[in-house]
Amino acid sequence: MKKIVVLLLALVTIALAKDADRTGPYIAVGGGYAVFNDDNRMGSEPIDPTYNLNLIGGAFINKYLSVELGFDYYDTFTNDMQDTTDIYIFDAAAKAHYPFWKERIDLYAAFGAGGISWKETLDGVTQEDNSGVLRGDVGIGFRTLDWLTVNMGYRHYFFTLDQVDNSGVVTQQYKMDLSSAYVNIEVQF
């Protein structure tokens, strides 16, 4: 019975709340569960999923659009041969919002681009590389206070790696992707 009363009070509070202000800067921090598809580059599937952390700084242009800069850190991906890959991503994105229910619930989609850096160890040999990356997000945000939002979403990165021989000729191109289901806490100023 107590749970029902608390749920009803929460719903009434949200329903009677004033519209949230959706302009100005924000920061968000969170993490998720990540899966890496390396286009069989490591040569041994599957690659074990891992966790990621993200840090985002952004600004609402209006209640329908924001822009953000992001940093994602992914813990080590390992396959059954003990080959490893460490990944870091910096990106910029535009985020489209569809707020409803007194602007307390927000459906969003983000599209962006950036750079990815990774360090991998294959068969005992360590190498590092960088590439461009494209980003896509979809999610839902719950504005719990005028300045605090909890976001739950799905983020997907697409990138390629060209394997080059000693003469500079591309011998293999790997089309890789990385996805993450995440939760973050967003604080608006």
pTM of this prediction?
Answer: 0.82
Rg (CA), the chain: 20
Secondary element (H or E) of residue 48: none
Segments forming the whole domain that contains residue 57? 2-188
**In CATH, what number is assigned to the domain containing residue 17?**
2.40.160.20
Domain count of the chain?
A: 1
Question: How does pLDDT run across 112-164, given as a tens digit for each residue?
Answer: 999 999 888 888 888 888 889 999 999 999 998 889 999 999 999 999 887 77
Identify the CA nearest to 100 among candidates 143, 60, 138, 61. Answer: 143
